C-alpha cells in the first residue's frame, strides 16, 4: 500500500516527531496524546448545536482582481472553501441548497488564515434549508457549544491561530501542546483550554526564528 501525504501532513508529522524527541529528553510531563488534523475529522466527530446538517470553513481575501486587472475591495462574493464537513454530505445536497449555500457569504472573516494576514476565515452552515454565517467569535462559541470533543478542540484552536499537536484531558478541560501560526518563527505553547472555549498560555515551549520572511 502506498500512502501519499501532502505538504501540510508532512509538516505536521515532522513537528510531531521533533516534539516527541524533545519531550523524551525533558523531565516535563507534557501532553502526549496526538490531536488529529482537521482533515481527519468527520462531521459526526463534532458536537454542535442541534439540527446542523453540514458546515464549511471559508477563506475570503481582503481584495480581489477584477476583469480589468485592478485590485478592488472584496464584497465577500469571492471566497474559497478550505474545509468541508463533510464533502460526502455536500455531494448529496440539492441544486437549490447548493445555490443558497454559495449565495450566502460574509465580506470578512473573524480569524486569519493567510500569512501574513491578507485574508480572513469564517464558517457557513446548513440548518434545514437555510444557510447561516458565523463571522464572529461569540456566534462561533455558540455554534460548537462546549469543547468536549477533539474535533471541537482542534477547530477552536484553529480560530485562535493555533494548531493542536498533543493533548491531555484534565477534568473538564484540556492541556494542549500547540504550534502557533507564524511565517518567521517556529512557536509552540503549552495551553489550557476550558470547556467554555477559554484559552490560557501556560508556557512557551519553543520560539525559534526560521530565518524567513512573510
In the three-class reduction of DSSP (H, G, I as helix; E, B as strand; rest coil), residue 103 is classed as helix
CB–CB of 74/64 below 8 Å? yes
What pTM value is reported for the model? 0.81
CA pair distance 93, 90, nearest whole angstrom: 5
The tens place of each residue's pLDDT in the chain, 214 residues long, gives 444 444 445 445 445 555 555 544 456 789 999 999 999 999 999 999 889 999 999 999 877 666 676 666 678 888 999 999 999 999 999 999 999 999 999 988 888 877 665 788 999 999 999 999 999 999 999 999 999 999 999 999 999 999 999 999 999 999 999 999 877 888 999 999 999 999 999 999 999 887 777 6
Per-residue model confidence (pLDDT) at position 1: 42
- Give the chain's mean pLDDT: 85
CA pair distance 116, 184, nearest whole angstrom: 10
Residues in contact with 109: Cβ distance below 8 Å, sequence separation at least 6, in sequence order: 58, 59, 60, 119, 120, 121, 122, 135
In the three-class reduction of DSSP (H, G, I as helix; E, B as strand; rest coil), residue 207 is classed as strand
Using alpha carbons, list the distances in angstroms from residue 107 to 58, 59, 75, 171.
11, 10, 5, 39
Per-residue pLDDT tens digits for 48-59:
988 999 999 999
Per-residue model confidence (pLDDT) at position 61: 86
Using left for φ > 0, alpha for ψ between -120 and 50, and beta otherwise, residue 207 falls in beta
| Count helices and strands in the chain by DSSP H and E runs | 5, 12
Amino acid at each position: 500500500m502506498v500512502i501519499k501525504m501532502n505538504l501540510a501532513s508532512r509538516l505536521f508529522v515532522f513537528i510531531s516527531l521533533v516534539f516527541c524527541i524533545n519531550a523524551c529528553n525533558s523531565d516535563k510531563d507534557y501532553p502526549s496524546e496526538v490531536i488529529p488534523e482537521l482533515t481527519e475529522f468527520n462531521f459526526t466527530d463534532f458536537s454542535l448545536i442541534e439540527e446542523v446538517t453540514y458546515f464549511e470553513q471559508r477563506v475570503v481575501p481582503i481584495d480581489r482582481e477584477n476583469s480589468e486587472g485592478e485590485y478592488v475591495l472584496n464584497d465577500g462574493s469571492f471566497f474559497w472553501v478550505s474545509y468541508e464537513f463533510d464533502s460526502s454530505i455536500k455531494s448529496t445536497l440539492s441544486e437549490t441548497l447548493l445555490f443558497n449555500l454559495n449565495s450566502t457569504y460574509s465580506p470578512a472573516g473573524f480569524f486569519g488564515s493567510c500569512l501574513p494576514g491578507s485574508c480572513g476565515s469564517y464558517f457557513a452552515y446548513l440548518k434545514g434549508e437555510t444557510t447561516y454565517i458565523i463571522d464572529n467569535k461569540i456566534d462561533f462559541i455558540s455554534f460548537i457549544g462546549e469543547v468536549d470533543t477533539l474535533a471541537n478542540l482542534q477547530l477552536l484552536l484553529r480560530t485562535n491561530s493555533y494548531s493542536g499537536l498533543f493533548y491531555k484531558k484534565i477534568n473538564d478541560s484540556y492541556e494542549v501542546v500547540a504550534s502557533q501560526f507564524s511565517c518567521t518563527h517556529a512557536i509552540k505553547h503549552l495551553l489550557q483550554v476550558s470547556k467554555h472555549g477559554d484559552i490560557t498560555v501556560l508556557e512557551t515551549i519553543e520560539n525559534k526564528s526560521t530565518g524567513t520572511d512573510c
